Amino acid sequence: MRVLVIEDEVQLAEAVARGLRREGMAVDVALDGDDGYLKASHMRYDVVVLDRDLPGMSGDEICRRLTDQAALTRVIMLTASILVEDRVAGLALGADDYLPKPFAFPELVARVRALARRTTPAAPPVLRAGDLQLDSAKRTVTRNGRPIHLARKEFGILETLLIADGAVVSADELLHEVWDENADPFTSSVRVVMMTLRRKLGDPAIIHTAFGSGYRIEAAHVEG
């Protein structure tokens, strides 16, 4: 899942980004409205966490433009106002959800995940391929009943490949889904993490390379 946080309070923006990354999301940050709209226009995000009061382009204008463009991205607006009128106005602009500040971080995570499920078909809570099992909610992986501890990016790659259900996923697609905007597309990041992931998963190999195209789990059998 890829999320854009548009928030001019630097500490809050960084705290939200860190927290969402701990939840396994790829997160980009913009500290003003102009940069936020530029990123939202040029990158496909599942969810935008949008502060309403921003320097540069306002949060209202960003939300209105994304709505006019019929973007698939879901928008959750943040504001310090607790007035019902403000909430109604934000939703009227096309926002999908509204959260007043201050907010409990677990609630933000729950709302972001709920919005992301509306962006694309929800994946089953448990993904399986042969004797491999990944529980997205509990963020656990087992193979033949043996627990396997995976780092965040390793888990993200495995989850993305399982959701693909046998289709080939390119390195660029994995960068988009698992890393953030700071990832260099010309580095060997995906290859290095893939090597570690394969080693942890053990034999027989479950992730296969489609040379020149990407990676796939050929025996993928995804079920709830």
Structural domain ending residue among the three candidates 80, 102, 119: 119
Q: Report pLDDT digits (tens) over 147-169.
A: 999 988 899 899 889 988 888 99
Domain identity same for 25 and 76: yes
pLDDT score for 87: 63
Q: Report pLDDT digits (tens) over 36-92.
A: 999 998 888 889 999 998 999 999 999 989 888 867 789 999 987 666 666 666 677
Cα–Cα dist 77/167, whole Å: 35
Instruction: Tell the residue number behind the tokens 């921003």, with chain if given.
Output: 54
Res. 223 pLDDT band, cuts 50 70 90:
very low
Q: Which two tokens stand for residue 8?
A: 């001019």
Confidence check: pLDDT of 177 > 70: yes
Domain identity same for 55 and 102: yes
Q: Which two tokens stand for residue 74?
A: 């879901």
Pairing outcome for strands 2-6 and 208-210: unpaired
Which one is predicted more confidently, 127 or 86?
A: 127
Domain identity same for 10 and 101: yes
User: Residue 87: helix, strand or coil by DSSP?
Assistant: helix
Q: Mean of the pLDDT values across residues 132-139? A: 86
Residue 24 in any domain: the answer is yes
Pairing outcome for strands 140-143 and 146-148: antiparallel
Cα–Cα dist 118/143, whole Å: 30
Domain identity same for 49 and 147: no
Instruction: Report the percent of the chain where pLDDT is more than 90.
Output: 45
pLDDT score for 175: 83
Q: CATH code at 145?
A: 1.10.10.10
Q: Among candidates 109, 107, 132, 137, which has minimal Cα distance to 122?
A: 137
Rounded to 5 degrees, φ, ψ at 149 are -85, 120
Domain total of the chain: 2
Judge whether 171 and 190 are in contact, CB under 8 Å.
yes
Residue 86 in any domain: the answer is yes
Q: CATH code at 57?
A: 3.40.50.2300
Confidence check: pLDDT of 215 > 90: yes
pLDDT score for 44: 83
Domain identity same for 114 and 139: no
Domain identity same for 149 and 92: no
Cα–Cα dist 25/11, whole Å: 19
Domain identity same for 167 and 113: no
pLDDT score for 6: 97
Q: Structural domain of residue 52, as residue ranges?
A: 2-119
Structural domain ending residue among the three candidates 74, 103, 119: 119
Cα–Cα dist 69/63, whole Å: 10
Judge whether 77 and 59 are in contact, CB under 8 Å.
yes
Instruction: Report the percent of the chain where pLDDT is more than 70.
Output: 86
Domain identity same for 6 and 105: yes
